[in-house]
Amino acid sequence: MASTSEQQWLEQARILVLRGDFAQAEPLLKIALTEHPRSFELRRVLAGVYRQIHRYDEAEALLRELSRESPQDAGTAFTLAELLIGQARTQAAGQVLRSCFDGGQHDPNLAIRAIELLDDADRKLDAAAIADNAIAAVPDDPRLHAYAGMLQLQLGAFERARKHHLFALEHSPKACEWHVPHGLASAQRYADAGHPDFARFRACLQRTDLSEKARASLLFALGKAHDDIGDYSNAALDFRQANAIANSLTDWSRKDWRRMVSARLATNPMTRPCPPGSGFTPIFIVGMPRSGTTLLAELLSRHAGVCNRGELPWIGRLAQQPDLSGDPSTEALTRAAAIYTAQARRDDGAEARWFVDKQPLNFRYLDLVLALFPNARIIHCIRNARDTALSLWAQSFSEDVQGYAYHFDHIAVVMRDCERLMQHWRRCFPHSIRAVHYEELVAAPDATMTALATWVGLPDAATTKAESPSISTASLWQARQPVYARSLRRWQAYAEYVPELLEFKDR
């Protein structure tokens, strides 16, 4: 009897996989492999089945076997990398993808896919290495230069970022759609209106083929440039036009926000928290965005034993899980705590006990935070309301959750609700929350950080480490500079041109 061909087995297996019938797909693939034991595709499909049924060790072993046989096979490399990232093994994922691209895989589309995957996993150095490798092989691809510029900006290599961004802007009309002008503006502080970027930005704004999103991004870039040189009148005009466009594009809903806040205010502390852990203390920095969260995280991360993980998405994701709503069981909380701990620790060898999560909007879920980690330390960043409102209004955000920032009425609502929620949590958890005022931090950083380190429980208040390797928020330029007081009461320079600021309470 003639054996079934490899292609016939693959077709049968893929039908079962598409149906989601993994229980039947696994034995079928094993039978197929008895006839075609070295089939690359049959083994790869079986690895995918193992992944779907959560047999991750078997999936990884099979994928690594395939990767050894064909190191430049992108399909295997991406599947293995995604599996590893799902297990918080981001360093291992970076090694897998770098091996694939270092060994000769230089397809620009695949390189961009790898860059995006590793950027999302906070493996900026690995992503930048793949970008550099791809550019060395395909030096004239403006998309690769745009991505390389984005990564170098986050890594603090501002001159390299500018070179890549300029190449992209000069070689592709789509560069504005990739927000390259905004990257250029973010890479430096302008000294005078004679800088060629001003002419570049104005020339781009004359184009009639730009999307509204690209036009808004350009206006934010030009506004930032005008702000740098103290031309607040023109900066205000730029920001006003940018915000009007961005506000028309956002899906942010004031009604949904208020509904969420009302529900959060009605909650009581969870009655069955996880038992306190040892060797892992998360530090959550919360408050309004643009209130000093990035600066504070950066200063904390310079202490021995502290690792800054940036803005982790995991508390918000966990809060949406049905088994964590209401008053969840200890078992459900323990599982969630394990997920968060793994994602914070990762596999990059960070020798730390304290892990900083500076996602400011975690202020929505502090009951969940302290149910997962009763030993967590919550730091509430507070800044002058007018300065905060102006700083939000002057930023172009990539996340929909920040859509309120494009209208002062919405900013006022979120600011007020942030304070209401923080008052609620302070009543519930008075010993776990400490406020830090931005104005005090920049006026007396050493004294403020010494007191904060003592409260957190750090063993030594002296800073001992260099700055974080990457920063991916709107504060990336400022956080790389020495602590300065230039932004204190910045709103006063705009009061004449942005009278809406006067509606916010000054303190």
Three-state secondary structure along 40-64?
HHHHHHHHHHHHHCCCHHHHHHHHH
The stretches of 444-480 forming alpha helices (DSSP H) are 445-456, 476-479
Q: Which residue has the tokens 């920032």?
A: 405
Q: CA-CA distances (angstroms) from residue 472 to 74, 140, 168? A: 27, 26, 20
How far lies 348's CA from each of 90, 227, 357, 391, in Å? 7, 39, 17, 34
CB atoms within 10 A of CB 85: 22
Please name every residue paired with 377 in a beta bridge, in sequence order, or none if there are none: 283
- 381, β-bridge pairs: 287, 436
Residues with Cβ within 8 Å of 276's Cβ and at least 6 positions away in sequence, in order, are 374, 375
pLDDT per residue, tens digit, the chain (507 aa), is 457 899 999 999 999 999 999 999 999 999 999 999 999 999 999 999 999 999 999 999 999 999 999 988 999 999 999 999 999 999 999 999 999 998 776 799 999 999 999 999 999 999 999 999 999 999 999 999 999 999 999 999 999 999 999 999 999 999 999 999 999 999 999 999 999 999 999 999 999 999 999 999 999 999 999 999 999 999 999 999 999 999 999 999 999 999 999 999 998 889 899 988 788 999 999 999 999 999 999 999 999 999 999 999 999 999 999 999 989 999 999 999 999 999 999 998 788 999 999 999 999 999 999 999 999 999 999 999 999 999 999 999 988 999 999 999 999 999 999 999 999 999 999 999 999 999 999 999 999 999 999 999 998 655 555 555 655 555 554 555 566 667 789 999 999 999 999 999 976
Question: Contact, 437 vs 382, CB < 8 A?
Answer: yes
CA dist 227 → 219, 292, 441 (Å): 12, 19, 23
Q: How far is CA 297 from CA 292, 304, 419, 431, 489, in A?
A: 9, 13, 21, 20, 22
| Alpha-helical runs (H) found in 194-292 | 196-205, 212-228, 232-249, 254-265
pTM to 2 decimal places: 0.91
Give the separation between CA 239 and CA 249, rounded to whole angstroms.
Answer: 15
Please check whether residue 198 is in contact with residue 163, taking contact to mean a CB–CB distance below 8 angstroms.
Answer: no
CA distances from 492 to 243, 384, 489, 502, 507 (A): 20, 12, 6, 9, 13
pLDDT at 477: 47
Residues with Cβ within 8 Å of 464's Cβ and at least 6 positions away in sequence, in order, are 302, 303, 304
CA nearest to 14, candidates 59, 65, 48:
48
Q: What is the pLDDT of residue 484?
A: 63
As beta bridge partners, residue 437 has 382
**Closest Cα partner for 294 from 354, 359, 382, 355?**
359
Go through the domains of the chain in sequence order and give each one's CATH number.
6-187 (1.25.40.10), 256-503 (3.40.50.300)
Distance CA 318, CA 311 (A): 15
Encoded tokens for 461: 């208040």
**Is the distance from CB of 147 to CB of 131 less than 8 angstroms?**
yes
